[in-house]
A = this chain, B = another copy of it.
Amino acid sequence: MIITMKKTAPKAEIDAVMGRLAAKGLQIHSSIGENYNVFGLVGDTSIIDPKQIEANPYVESVVRVGAPYKKANRLFHPEDTIVEVDGIKIGGKENIVVIGGPCSVEGEASICQIAQAVKESGGCMLRGGAYKPRTSPYAFQGLGKKGILALKKAKAQTGLPIVTELMSADKLDEFVENVDIIQIGARNMQNFDLLKAVGKTTKPVLLKRGLANTIEEWIMAAEYIMSEGNDQVIFCERGIRTFEPYTRNTLDLSVIPIIKEKTHLPIIIDPSHATGDWKLVESMSLAAIAAGADGLIIEVHENPQCAWSDGAQSLKPHKFTELIQKGRTIAQVIGRDIA
């Protein structure tokens, strides 16, 4: 950590600041510049809150060197973490997983039918929302427990493991019992109580990036889960909010190599929510595979125009089949395959 202090800082003030830091076991190296005095802190600076030091009016800036995360940090854990779900492996050099399904579970019959279609298309897991975060309180809020049980039925029929979103810690037991991967949605990425709660389980967690969260904040959200003991975290990029109105969000594929450099965890891409437009889903899926993603999560619906939510971004099963076929050819030329 580098602290820059103004030249007007009295010696007593500098000594007080540095004394407090030295008392925390840090070594201090000082550089006296023409316009500023600069101090380098050596040791475990993750215990220091930069904001507290910046409160000093003589401090010009505080810059952290190195990352504030530990358990997710590849520096301290060089091997890839492989998350395993019912024998399907996610991450590292493993094959690419393709998760398909509707935005919302709409009933037992329909989810079983879509699950079958997902399986036939070549998908290896089933997605579907039972508890739905909706901007409007007047919009369909999901089938709740009934939706979870419908997903379970679909799994019984097809064998596809289930990914679905948890919105509140009071439903955690229901999810631990019935679900294979617990999704934390973009709007709850910094719902820290919820992160801690899933961190106390051993279930794999699909952690979506917040609408406007930096990569570092996203990794820190994973760190919340991991610091409670659960290291089965899968990152999921689903687009960030920008000024561009044409797409629902702006898909940031550069996070794929970045997450793989900074952390040892898998990352998958959600092109459906990122673009909000089914016509863009195939090209963004192929791009994600080419960029090294460990998986895709894609909305699939038998009849998108009648979907209860997000129909505009859902693929029909035959389009999903085509996408997987094309994706496989790209996966193969980069030395992987579709799981």
Using a CB–CB cutoff of 8 Å, the interface residues on chain A facing chain B are 2, 4, 17, 29-36, 38, 40, 42-44, 46-47, 49, 51-56, 60-61, 63, 65-66, 68, 75, 133-140, 167-170, 187-188, 190-194, 196, 210-217, 220, 223-224, 227-228, 240-247, 250-254, 256-258, 261, 274-276, 278-280, 283-284, 286-292, 304-314, 326, 329-330, 332-334
User: Are A52 and B308 in contact, with the CB atoms below 8 A?
Assistant: yes
Closest beta carbon of chain B to A67's beta carbon, Å: 9
Contacts of A65 in B (CB 8 A): 2, 4, 33, 36, 38, 60-61
In the complex, what distance in Å separates the CA atom of A334 from the CA atom of B292? 17
Known: A52-B312, A134-B192. 18 other contacts (CB 8 A): A2-B2, A2-B40, A29-B30, A33-B65, A38-B40, A47-B138, A49-B309, A52-B307, A52-B311, A56-B305, A138-B227, A211-B213, A240-B244, A241-B243, A254-B284, A258-B280, A283-B292, A332-B333
User: In the bound complex, do residue B250 and residue A254 qualify as a contact, i.e. CB atoms below 8 Å apart?
Assistant: yes
B35 touches A75 (CB 8 A): yes
Q: How far is the CA of A56 from the CA of B252 in the complex (A)?
A: 25
Which residue of chain B has its CB nearest to the CB of A243? B241
Would you list 5 pairs from A and B whose C-beta atoms are within 8 A, ordered by A residue? A2-B63, A31-B40, A242-B252, A251-B252, A329-B333
A258 to B35, CA, bound (A): 19
The 3 A-B pairs at the shortest CB distance, nearest first, are namely: A55-B311, A212-B212, A31-B40
Q: Given the complex, which residues of B lie within 8 Å of A227, measured CB to CB?
A: 137-138
Among the interface residues A31, A276, A279, A308, which one has the most CB atoms of the partner chain B within 10 A? A31
Task: Say how far A178's CB is from chain B's closest CB, in angstroms.
Answer: 19
Name the prevailing secondary structure of the A interface residues. Answer: mixed
Whether the Cβ atoms of B133 and A311 lie closer than 8 Å is: no
Determine the distance from Cα of A227 to Cα of B136 in the docked complex, in whole angstroms.
Answer: 10
A139 lies within 8 A of B49 (CB): yes
- On chain B, the residues within 8 Å of A256 by CB distance are 283
Q: A214-B245, A257-B280, A286-B290 are in contact. Are A68 and B136 (CB under 8 A)?
A: yes
Please tell me if the beta carbons of A287 and B291 are within 8 angstroms of each other in the complex. Answer: yes
A258 to B187, CA, bound (A): 24
Q: Within the complex, what minimum Cβ distance (angstroms) separates A327 from chain B?
A: 9
| Contact, CB under 8 Å: A286 / B33 | no
Contacts of A245 on B, CB cut-off 8 Å?
214, 245
A78 to chain B, nearest CB (A): 12
Residue of B2, B242, B311 touching A38 (CB-CB under 8 A): B2
